[in-house]
Structure 1
């Protein structure tokens, strides 16, 4: 295969491997390949005299007999006999000369295969583009579930997901992972088509109505060089004559795809998990009213471990900020759930970023976090942040004993 179809449009292209195609993203080859179903075999035809068929053999035999008869008569009949015998012999040589010659000829040098654009598989199915670029995770809360369509037309994809060992029991098997949603606007059946991929397999599409609603947002994601990535649940089972499968994905509202503000670039986004209500928002309405619009708004907030100074003590808690400005704190219970995680991130020189939603108006506003509690965060996620690099030495306010007699005397 050549280095690539230079200056060619993005798409699936043939490779040196029969029935395999590879995706060219318009600039370079990707790691995405597809194994196509085999083509239907064309009826085999016999070469040489075999292609004459029974009728041809009869004509040839009659010609030879006539030729032999003419030869026996002498005179000009000898010439006619030679002609009648020579005709079928010459036909045999002409038909089989290429075949006979190939047996002794040296093999021709193999030509390097040039990649050709492939838009459909041998069975006529449209080939959807794979996920290429950077994954984009929706920022808003993914409350809605969508069951995709078209799984029945892709049994090989589900066989591949189970390494060819699909369960045959009634309950089947399932797994949870992420799905990639890719704009397939070149689809001949729907110009708003959105393809769904799981673990490198094209498993189906959004239904037409949902695809039409999401298409403008996915167009923006595609222009930015990315694709949507959302949680998914995949179920499948082998039946006697088919593969039964179901894929469900979780989505936010389309207008909650992106955060209304810009998440910090130097932070770590905490995994989603529990809905946690922020407190004391009423003390920060001057900040919150700059964002409220009467609807639910997705926001990126930062979480900070602080010592809240109170009348007689300093309490460690979690402070919530939007674009660097305080908008509330967590209750003692929820602070206990998140403090170990926030401090763990800060000890590695990072800022903890959380998904949040803001709902309200100029009178009242509520901020809700969507974040996994410290005790539920997987160890593999924690290990990925690396070793501790910062010591958190925050000064504490002295614990004054306001009712102590000696202190009153000193103040007097």
Structure 2
């Protein structure tokens, strides 16, 4: 069973045209149901990109699907650029998917013949080298903050040795970063900021103002021993690099992402609880790499704590959907985690 994988780099606008829609007009029309307006309607759906190496017309063909309905395929030139990345993902058991805008219109001629339908599909698809992060997320419990506006990281010039292995010939790439609360000591005082790490190594920090935008979320997750992670673009070369986060601010996070509120601690515990923040010098040396763990022996399906827990080893069959009466899963929930047995 393939695991859905949301391709990175989606920015909210669909600019890649899908080819061959006229051959799949019936499938496209079915997506609208009864909501198709005579003047035309547009809907947003999640589309899967499936390589089709057995296609007799083009061995690089990539089909565009929504569920079990094909809507078209990538244009031949585009398919040749994208198929190496997409085929690599599917070979590893992933199902690449992106947001798609589907437009359709239907009309009847004056002689009241059968209605004619015309539809088009556009994909929110980044450049091939920006579809997949260059590194893995942290191995422990973590939550990925939703995508948001850009936040510039500072101090990257002090950590080029940690960034250089991630740089690509195209000059940019997506990467997982982890965010950590730290106290920065200055000559006269101290201040709390957010430290940014890649694969456990420090690559910079946020300004005090920008740190304040994310610290409430970092502290919220830290209460459950969960590491905060985010998407970042790393640009540059071995002599000059920069890191930019694309992340939602704490006040923009929906309640569904935050999850159920934690019960308040007893008064006597609150009075004696230490307000501990690790003391980290901004000029500390990069930590050495730890041991590389073996490849996971499998993956496990994980549901939110406020859902009925499935039997051990259970995985959802194709087409399975949660009971509508269950609470919505937090945004960005990690449905599958690797296991070592």
**In the alignment, which of 48, 73, 77 is matched to residue 180 of structure 1?**
48
1:311 corresponds to: 187
- How many corresponding residue pairs? 262
CA contact (8 A) 2:29 2:119 kept: no
Give 1:252 shift: 2.4
1:159 corresponds to: 29
**In the alignment, which of 239, 244, 256 is matched to residue 363 of structure 1?**
239
**In the alignment, which of 175, 179, 189 is matched to residue 299 of structure 1?**
175
Q: Is 1:252 matched up with 2:126?
A: yes
Q: Is 1:220 matched up with 2:88?
A: yes
In structure 1, the gaps of 5 or more residues are 1-131, 398-412
Distance 1:145 1:274 in 2: 20
Task: Evaluate the alpha carbon distance shift between residue 212 and residue 255 of structure 1 in structure 2; reply closer, same or farther with a 3 A threshold.
Answer: same
Q: Is 1:281 matched up with 2:156?
A: yes
Distance 2:208 2:117 in 1: 51
2:15 corresponds to: 145
**In the alignment, which of 202, 217, 234 is matched to residue 102 of structure 2?**
234
Q: Is 1:394 matched up with 2:292?
A: no
Instruction: Show CA shifts across 1:31-82 (max 9, x none).
Output: xxxxxxxxxxxxxxxxxxxxxxxxxxxxxxxxxxxxxxxxxxxxxxxxxxxx
Q: Is 1:210 matched up with 2:78?
A: yes
Task: Evaluate the alpha carbon distance shift between residue 202 and residue 179 of structure 1 in structure 2; reply closer, same or farther with a 3 A threshold.
Answer: same
Give 1:301 shift: 0.8
Task: Evaluate the alpha carbon distance shift between residue 328 and residue 195 of structure 1 in structure 2; reply closer, same or farther with a 3 A threshold.
Answer: same
Give 1:200 shift: 4.6
CA contact (8 A) 1:152 1:243 kept: no
CA contact (8 A) 1:303 1:354 kept: yes
Q: Is 1:196 matched up with 2:70?
A: no
Distance 2:166 2:58 in 1: 37
CA contact (8 A) 2:180 2:194 kept: yes
Instruction: Show CA shifts across 1:217-261 (max 9, x none).
Output: 222122112221122222222222422222221222212333222
RMSD: 2.7
**In the alignment, which of 354, 357, 362 is matched to residue 230 of structure 2?**
354
Task: Evaluate the alpha carbon distance shift between residue 354 and residue 361 of structure 1 in structure 2; reply closer, same or farther with a 3 A threshold.
Answer: same
Task: Evaluate the alpha carbon distance shift between residue 313 and residue 292 of structure 1 in structure 2; reply closer, same or farther with a 3 A threshold.
Answer: same
Give 1:144 shift: 7.7
Instruction: Show CA shifts across 1:374-401 (max 9, x none).
Output: 2333332333xx554998932599xxxx
Q: Is 1:339 matched up with 2:210?
A: no
Distance 1:139 1:333 in 2: 27
User: What TM-score results when the alignment is normalised by the length of structure 1?
Assistant: 0.57
CA contact (8 A) 1:275 1:371 kept: yes
Task: Evaluate the alpha carbon distance shift between residue 227 and residue 327 of structure 1 in structure 2; reply closer, same or farther with a 3 A threshold.
Answer: same
Q: Determine which structure has greater relative contact order: mean sequence separation of CA pairs < 8 Å that are 6+ residues apart, divided by chain length.
A: 2
CA contact (8 A) 2:82 2:128 kept: yes
Distance 1:392 1:277 in 2: 32
* Higher share of residues assigned helix: 1
Q: Highest Rg: 1 or 2?
A: 1
Give 1:207 shift: 0.8
User: What TM-score results when the alignment is normalised by the length of structure 2?
Assistant: 0.68
